[in-house]
Amino acid sequence: VTPNYDPMLAKLIVWAPSRAEALQRMRRALDDFVVLGTTTNLRFLRELCDHEDVVSGATDTTMIERIWPNGWSPQFSNEILNAALMVAGVSESAGLHTVQATKFSTDDGPPSPFQSLTRRYP
């Protein structure tokens, strides 16, 4: 990335006395990081924090290609997949699958994530 675009990139930097503590802080920061309105690589970075090579510090410039030679795809545990299927089934049975207008809806399309954000951030 050239210096012209560098200010447009979000950066997440953590520090701790040990590698294990720094990775724990990074995991927490990535879990709490919120970016609205665009696709991010937060999930990839979070998964990377748990990889044995990153945990042990055995990283190099070929690591990602070695780990994911066919490209990275999000990993879902069976528990998460089963929970998602149960929620979808219950929602369908209860008629919760229909889309309803909200005070943020417009005729121009779905609500903006910036308008419908209800969580407060410092």
Q: Give pLDDT tens digits for 20-42.
A: 999 999 999 999 988 888 888 89
Q: What is the predicted pLDDT for the residue at 109?
A: 64
pTM to 2 decimals?
A: 0.58
- Residue with structure tokens 């991010």? 40
How many angstroms separate the CA atoms of 73 and 75, rounded? 6
Task: Confirm whether 80 is domain-assigned.
Answer: yes
Task: Please enumerate in sequence order all residues whose Cβ is within 8 A of that of 94, keeping only pairs 6 or more positions apart, or say none.
Answer: none
Q: What is the predicted pLDDT for the residue at 111?
A: 60
Task: Confirm whether 122 is domain-assigned.
Answer: no
- Residue with structure tokens 């229909």? 98
Q: Give pLDDT tens digits for 59-105.
A: 999 999 999 999 988 877 788 888 888 888 888 777 766 655 555 55
Q: What is the mean pLDDT of the chain?
A: 81
Q: What is the predicted pLDDT for the residue at 115?
A: 59
Domain count of the fold of the chain:
1
Task: Confirm whether 106 is domain-assigned.
Answer: no
Q: Is pLDDT at 56 greater than 70 in this prediction? A: yes
Count CB neighbours of 46 within 10 A. 16
Phi, psi for residue 106 in degrees, rounded to 5: -135, 165
Task: Confirm whether 15 is domain-assigned.
Answer: yes
How many angstroms separate the CA atoms of 48 and 30, rounded? 11
Count CB neighbours of 26 within 10 A. 20
- 122 token code pair: 């410092």
Task: Confirm whether 14 is domain-assigned.
Answer: yes
Task: Confirm whether 121 is domain-assigned.
Answer: no
Structural domain range at position 89 = 6-100+112-116
Q: Is pLDDT at 110 greater than 70 in this prediction? A: no
In the 3-class helix/strand/coil scheme, how is 20-49 assigned residue by residue?
A: HHHHHHHHHHHHHCCCCCCCCCHHHHHHHH
Q: What is the predicted pLDDT for the residue at 122?
A: 45
Q: Which of 2-16, 37-51, 90-104 has the lowest mean pLDDT?
A: 90-104
Task: Confirm whether 37 is domain-assigned.
Answer: yes
Task: Confirm whether 73 is domain-assigned.
Answer: yes
Q: What is the predicted pLDDT for the residue at 99?
A: 57
